Amino acid sequence: MKVVLFCGGYGMRMRANGDDDTPKPMQPVGPRPLIWHVMRYYAHFGHREFILCLGYGAHHLKQYFLDYRETESNDFVMRNRDIEVASSDIADWTIHFVHTGLDASIGERLRRVRHLVDDDEMFLANYADVLTDLPLDEMVARFTASDARAALLAVPPVAAFHVVETDEDRVKAIRPAVDMDLFINGGYFVLRPEVIDLIPPGGDLVADACQTLAAEGTLMAHRYHGFWQSADTVKERNELEAAYQSGRRPWMLWEERDGDVPPLQGLVNRDRERRR
């Protein structure tokens, strides 16, 4: 299936230095940018045709893939200055680079690439800054067997938050959010093309289309309690970088490891406004 990735927003919370024009999806985790990790995840499950909804910082993403260096993440042999790469990351990928506007909402970006998915039974869509170890094939199979028109990944809220229960002006209880039956939108959408009809010009995928689908009972939630991590801020990106450097990389399902890798500790789920 085709994979639509929303990677055209300003990402202001990621840029500590206002002079840095690097878009959020191009922030590094290890030797590769965030968007590469997301794309590599999808490719692991056999989904290798990508539609990048570009906007702010589009030239960074274009240039990165035009100048792609396989040697940064693959073993290679050099003979007389000629390079032989042991394996390739993106040789079998198809990438559509589509400029969808600087200030467009996610829903509008999706509307502007509709012509690329209109003939498909379904397609995948996601933000370009969230990583997970979700068994994607299970989610897709469950959706395919249903009559739902769309599905999204539902993950528990950030562990650091506490929910306050009150009776007028008195606190009755304080409970960690993760101890309650609460879930947030984690992205990793599976969509049927007709869902785009529910998005008005300038509208939003979640606030408009998903709300409508929820009201009619055709929006599926795939609950998942495994690893899920956004990289919406410098702090979150640094947490992923530290995890990468320590070798605790649960989202990198394509890696072959000797033995089990301990689950990533200290990383939390993070919900946020989804307009970029």
The yes/no answer on whether domain 2-152+184-246 falls in CATH 3.40.250.10 is no
Position 83 confidence tier, pLDDT thresholds 50, 70, 90: confident
Long-range contacts: 246-255, Cβ < 8 Å, 24+? 250/133, 250/226, 251/37, 251/41, 251/131, 251/132, 251/133, 251/227, 252/37, 252/40, 252/41, 253/41, 253/44, 253/133, 254/40, 254/41, 254/43, 254/44
Position 198 confidence tier, pLDDT thresholds 50, 70, 90: very high
pLDDT, greater one: 21 or 261:
21
In sequence order, the 6+-apart residues with CB closer than 8 A to the CB of 97 are 52, 54, 58, 61, 62, 65
Q: Which pair of structure tokens corresponds to residue 53?
A: 């909804």
Q: What is the mean pLDDT of residues 84-94?
A: 80
∠ CA(176), CA(182), CA(185), 5° rounding? 120
Q: What is the mean pLDDT of residues 24-47?
A: 94
Q: pLDDT value at position 159?
A: 64
Contact status, residue 58 vs residue 99, Cβ threshold 8 Å: yes
Query: What predicted TM-score, i.e. pTM, was given to this entire model?
Result: 0.84
Helix (H, G, I), strand (E, B) or coil at 226: coil
Domain parsing of the chain, residue ranges: 2-152+184-246
Is pLDDT of 16 > 60? no
Position 232 confidence tier, pLDDT thresholds 50, 70, 90: confident
Average pLDDT, the chain: 85
Q: pLDDT value at position 178?
A: 72
Position 12 confidence tier, pLDDT thresholds 50, 70, 90: low
Report CA dihedral (9, 215, 175, 131) to the nearest 10 degrees: -40
In sequence order, the 6+-apart residues with CB closer than 8 A to the CB of 218 are 147, 148, 149, 150
Q: What is the mean pLDDT of residues 149-169?
A: 85
Is pLDDT of 33 > 60? yes
Strands 94-99 and 49-54 come out as parallel
Helix (H, G, I), strand (E, B) or coil at 77: strand
Q: What is the mean pLDDT of residues 136-151?
A: 96
Q: Rounded to an integer, what distance in angstroms lies between the CA atom of residue 94 and that of residue 225?
A: 31
Q: pLDDT value at position 264?
A: 39
Contact status, residue 201 vs residue 215, Cβ threshold 8 Å: no
Give the rounded percent of residues in the chain with a pLDDT score beyond 90: 60
pLDDT tens column, 253-269: 998 643 444 443 334 33
Q: What is the mean pLDDT of residues 46-60?
A: 93
Is pLDDT of 3 > 70? yes
Q: Which residue has tokens 């990289």?
A: 231
Phi, psi of 62 (to 5 degrees): -60, -50
Q: What is the mean pLDDT of residues 234-248?
A: 91
